[in-house]
Amino acid sequence: MSEGDLQLFGGALAETAVMVGASGFLSLLLGLPLGLLLVITAPGGISEHPGFNRGLGAVINAFRSTPFIILLVALIPFTRFVVGTTIGTVAAIVPLTVAATPYFARIAEMSLREVDRGLIEALRALGATRWQIVREALVPEALPGLVTGFTVTIVTLIGASAMAGAVGAGGLGDLAIRYGYQRFETTIMVGVIVVLVVVVSIIQLAGDFIARRLNRRA
């Protein structure tokens, strides 16, 4: 591999990092509250609102069932409205966030729902407000699961970010398609795959390590 190739890789890796990092952060910021809303408004939750719960669930399912490549195109007007352009790394963050948010919301919901109901009851018996129940019991108890779920979300985002190359987003996926596939540069193709495997492995290991360190149940 030439020095130019290495520069290509460095640039693509940085672009992927920006896309995944930004959309991952935003989906955490938006998805966790949505997951919480799903859990607390569900029947038997600490703030039951069955109608709202069904409505929110339906919206989340709608986004979840749309394949990312279609979402990417369908969201073009929205993307232009939000960031003023539909091309480039920043533009890709919008559809990636829109796809990852409901995904993480569902994963967060699963972790939050597994928190022992007895703990919620204990907090209620202590006169805790709903917000205190969320802050002191629901989120801390679900934390290891949330970390594992967020790791899965990041890994999924790395995959999705490759498709974002379709809107000129750059990144590792774009590199593989333009150089590896269209220019028949097999070295680049293999290089991208190796880099992806390494990056995903590191993220997965780091996520598992953090989740394990956080878990006090064992």
Partner 1 sequence: MPQSVGLNNTDAIVRLDSVRRAFGPVAALDGVDLQINRGETFGIIGRSGAGKSTLIRTINALEKVDAGRVIVNGEDLGSLDENGLNRVRRDIGMIFQHFNLLSMKTVFENVELPLKLSGQSRELRAKAVWRMLDLVGLRDKAAVYPAKLSGGQKQRVGIARALVAGPSLLLSDEATSALDPETTLSILQLLKDLKATLGVTIILITHEMSVIREVCDHVAVLDDGRIVEQGAVWEVFGQPRTDLTRRLLRTVRPPLPESLQAQLQSGPIAPGRVLLRLSSADLQRHPAALALLTAADWDGTVVHAEIDSVQGHTFGTATLSLRYGGEQQLAALLSQLQTQLANPEILGYVRG
Convert 42-70 into a string of H (helix), E (strand) and C (coil).
CCCCCCCCHHHHHHHHHHHHHHHHCCHHH
Residues that bind partner 1 (CB under 8 A): 116, 118-119, 121-129, 132, 136-137, 140-141, 143, 214, 216-218
Fill in the amino acid letter for 4.
G
Q: How far is the CB of 51 from partner 1 (least distance, A)?
A: 20
CB 102 within 8 A of CB 64: yes
Taking the least distance from each CB to partner 1, the nearer of 50 and 159 is 50
Taking the least distance from each CB to partner 1, the nearer of 24 and 149 is 149
Residue reference for tokens 């590191």:
202
Q: How far is the CB of 135 from partner 1 (least distance, A)?
A: 10
Q: How far is the CB of 64 from partner 1 (least distance, A)?
A: 29
How many Å apart are CA 35 and CA 107, to the nearest integer?
Answer: 8
Nearest to 100 by CA among 67, 64, 148, 73: 64
CB 166 within 8 A of CB 87: no
Q: How far is the CB of 52 from partner 1 (least distance, A)?
A: 18
Taking the least distance from each CB to partner 1, the nearer of 116 and 208 is 116
Taking the least distance from each CB to partner 1, the nearer of 66 and 132 is 132
Residue reference for tokens 């699961």:
145
Tokens of 147: 């970390």
Fill in the amino acid letter for 97.
T
Taking the least distance from each CB to partner 1, the nearer of 184 and 217 is 217
Q: How far is the CB of 140 from partner 1 (least distance, A)?
A: 5
Q: How far is the CB of 187 from partner 1 (least distance, A)?
A: 48
Tokens of 202: 């590191």
Taking the least distance from each CB to partner 1, the nearer of 47 and 204 is 47
Residue reference for tokens 């409205």:
81
CB 149 within 8 A of CB 110: yes
